Amino acid sequence: MSAKLSAIDTAKFVAAKRACDFIEDGMRVGLGTGSTAEWLVRCLGELVEDGLKITGVPTSTRTAKLARQLGIPISTLDEVKWLDLTIDGADEYDPDLNLIKGGGGAHLQEKIVATASDRMIVIADRTKQVDMLGAFPLPVEVIPFGWQTTKALLEETIAALDVMGDRIELRMNGDAPYITDEGNHILDLHLGRIGNPRQTALVLNQIPGVVENGLFIDICDIVVTGNGDGRVQVKDINVGTTQEDVIEFDEDENIFADLD
């Protein structure tokens, strides 16, 4: 293993590298956002340099910037219409491959891109696997107008749901509210436990002012989970299989060149 990487970064890297095996020449690929998805973009940059021909559709401005820097051809969802595959990270995933996403503030674009794909693959380290969703705060994107009213409506709504906590916080960026790529705010719901993710997702999106929530239900097809020792588990929810591989890599690979 590379001495330059922590166990968590090694886990993220081997998950990303294994997920690249699902990508074929000519594919249109959704590129996720976040620290784990960044490893995927780095891996794809090396493959593109070696001759792989793909079109990437980024889910955020920062993913688009990194993809351009690495020479990955990118386009927009409006231009390509439909994707063969989306690969993204997750903040949590449960045994049914339901997800919480949005820790990076891009879950709106991520959900649109993922649902416009034939398959969605999540790459994650072992810490993201949970028996029940909810320990990670659930992001809800809301429009700035009347956000405090929207927050009050959310508080009233979650009181009737099968959740354990009720604290809601406006996400901040320093002294100012965090602003998404679409110019909206994010309210983080500290629910502790989400007993019925499907019901919760549907109910939250009925509240005026809510744009989208971070629950991804019946969207993810495969989770690739990396470990700090280089092992990866690939769980396919559609065929009901789980397989384990070991990813070996050279500590001098170009992907680590700027990590010194």
Residues in the chain: 260
**104 belongs to an annotated ligand binding site:** yes
- Greatest CA separation for the chain: 54
pLDDT for residue 1 is more than 60: no
Which residues, at least 6 apart from 22, have a Cβ–Cβ distance to it below 8 Å?
85, 87, 119, 121, 222
Query: What's the rounded Cα separation, in Å, for the pair 177 and 86?
Result: 29
**89 belongs to an annotated ligand binding site:** yes
DSSP assignment of 41-86: HHHHHHHHHTT---EEEESSHHHHHHHHHTT--B--HHHH-SBSEE
| 210 sits in which H/E element | strand 210-213
Average pLDDT of the residues of the chain: 95
242-252 burial, b at 16+ Cβ within 10 Å, e below that, comes to eeeeebebeee
Domain ranges of the chain: 7-128+218-256, 138-212
**35 belongs to an annotated ligand binding site:** yes
pLDDT for residue 260 is more than 60: no
pLDDT of 9-57, one tens digit each?
A: 999 999 999 999 999 999 999 999 999 999 999 999 999 999 999 999 9
Pick the CATH number of 138-212 from 3.40.50.300, 3.30.70.260, 3.40.50.150, 3.30.2350.10: 3.30.70.260
**91 belongs to an annotated ligand binding site:** yes
CATH match of 7-128+218-256 with 3.40.50.1360: yes
Shared fold status for 7-128+218-256 and 138-212? no
**34 belongs to an annotated ligand binding site:** yes
Q: Where does the pLDDT of residue 256 fall: very low under 50, low under 70, confident under 90, or very high at 90 and above? A: low
State the catalytic residues: 110
**103 belongs to an annotated ligand binding site:** yes
Q: Where does the pLDDT of residue 249 fall: very low under 50, low under 70, confident under 90, or very high at 90 and above? A: confident
Output the six-digit token pair for 213.
Answer: 């929530």
pLDDT of 126-170, one tens digit each?
A: 999 999 999 999 999 999 999 999 999 999 999 999 999 999 999
pLDDT of 194-222, one tens digit each?
A: 999 999 999 999 999 999 999 999 999 99
